Amino acid sequence: MGDFVNWSESADERRRLWGVLIFLFLGALAGGLLLVHAPLYAPVLPLVATVLVVGTAAIAFHRIPNTSNEGALITSLAGTKNPTHAQ
């Protein structure tokens, strides 16, 4: 419990925490409304949310340059020559 008492939060951490709590509530509200008013569509909501999250992450992480040397290992395991990998 001492970690929670002495936990120093930055403004970014507080904003992120509030965002998580708000969207957790909104997700539960949307799920409840779907179960009450549209029970046939309720099972589709998690699938749609997952597709949206994976798509958003793919777009966001595609913009980050790859600085690791994993590509050289993969291409060497595949039997192709990688000009950036010293052999």
Task: State the pLDDT confidence band at 54, using cuts at 50, 70 and 90.
Answer: very high
Domain co-membership, 36 together with 73 = no
pLDDT at res. 18:
92
pLDDT at res. 65:
67
Domain co-membership, 34 together with 60 = no
Answer yes or no: is pLDDT of 31 > 90: no
Residue range(s) defining the domain that contains residue 31? 1-40
Put residue 79 in one of left, alpha, beta given phi > 0 → left and psi -120 to 50 → alpha: left
Answer yes or no: is pLDDT of 41 > 60: yes
Domain co-membership, 54 together with 79 = yes
Domain co-membership, 34 together with 54 = no
Mean pLDDT for the stretch of residues 28-54: 88
Query: What is the pTM for the complete model shown?
Result: 0.48
